A = this chain, B = another copy of it.
Amino acid sequence: MFNILDILGTVAFAVSGTLAAIEKKLDFFGVLTIALVTSIGGGTLRDLLIGNTPVSWLQNLNSFYIIMGSSIFAIIFRARLSIFRTSLFLFDTIGIGLFTLVGLEKGVNINLHPLICISLGTVTACFGGVLRDILCNEIPVIFRKEIYATACIAGGFVFFGLRYLNLPEDIIYLATAASIITIRILAVLKKWSFPPIEMK
């Protein structure tokens, strides 16, 4: 089960990075670099923090090939993808849903406290997109108005809530990813946001 999540998340972020880099008119190598960094950034930071080194993309070439393939695919079909103005948003959203799960699972596997697992899942999900935005000179997505990291945090609570109820693993995974993706999409569609904290 687990590898599939990781692969799908990697594909989703590679496509989102590719689209963001094309928008910035980068050349072929620039686009591949941003696709790579977006896809492996979150997992690399997570691996460094938990001491899982050499980090996973150094240990086998699968994610490398998947990212190159997805990025080249997205470059070829970029015109078609851009028909949906929301493709970048959709791929990024699927990416955070899946990568939050990957991070949660890695934390659970080494017996970290649930709150720490949720932090780790959120870091795994959000850091690649933050790097993508910094390198593309955009305001990082977690600091824009709508709900973003909060969706990952909420998904983390769903995950541990359902685990507490002893539901089967497949259902927990599905429900967690679905809740993150749903919250994020609704937040953007309905313009949900928290008010800023004002200096009274």
A164 in the interface (beta carbon within 8 A)? no
Closest B residue, CB atoms, query A198 = B25
A27 in the interface (beta carbon within 8 A)? yes
A22 in the interface (beta carbon within 8 A)? yes
Decide: A27 near B194, CB < 8 A? Known: A199-B22, A199-B79: yes
A197 in the interface (beta carbon within 8 A)? yes
Bound together, the chains give a CA A115 to CA B51 distance in angstroms of: 23
A73 in the interface (beta carbon within 8 A)? no
A162 in the interface (beta carbon within 8 A)? no
Instruction: Enumerate chain B residues within 8 angstroms of A26, measured Cβ to Cβ.
Output: 143, 196-197
A142 in the interface (beta carbon within 8 A)? yes
Bound together, the chains give a CA A120 to CA B48 distance in angstroms of: 16
List the interface of chain A (C-beta within 8 A of B).
21-23, 25-31, 33, 44, 48-51, 53-55, 57-58, 60-61, 64, 75, 78-79, 82, 110, 112-113, 115-116, 119-120, 135, 140, 142-143, 149-150, 153, 193-200
List 15 extra interface pairs beyond A26-B197, A28-B197, A29-B150, CB under 8 A. A21-B197, A25-B197, A26-B196, A28-B194, A48-B49, A49-B53, A49-B55, A58-B112, A58-B120, A60-B113, A61-B113, A64-B119, A79-B199, A135-B140, A135-B143
